[in-house]
Structure 1
Amino acid sequence: MSEAFTRIDGGALDLLIVGDHASAHVPGDIDLGIDAALLKEHVAIDIGVAEVSALLAAQLQCTAILGGVSRLVIDLNREEDAPGLLPVMSDGHAIPGNRDADLADRMRRFHHPYHHAVAALIDGMTAPFILSVHSFTPRLASDPGQARPWDIGILYNQDDRAARIAIPLLEAAGLKVGDQLPYSGQLLNATMNRHAEANGIPYLGVEMRQDLVGDAVGQRRFADIIGPVALACRSRLA
Structure 2
Amino acid sequence: MGVIFDNLDLWGEMLVGTIILFFAGGALALVLGTIVGAMRVSPVPVARAVGALYVNTIRNSPLTLVFFAFAFALPPLLGLRLTGQTSLTLAICALGIYTATYVAETIRSGINTVSVGQAEAARALGLTFGQVMGLVVLPQAFRSVIPPMMSVFIALLKNTTVAAGFSVINLGSVRAYMSERGENQFVAILWVMVVFVALVLLLSWLQRSLETRWKVTR
Shorter-chain TM-score tier: under 0.3
Larger of the two Rg values belongs to structure: 2
TM-score (norm 1): 0.23
TM-score (norm 2): 0.25
The structure with the greater share of residues assigned to strand is 1
With CA pairs under 8 Å and 6+ residues apart, which has the higher RCO, 1 or 2? Answer: 2
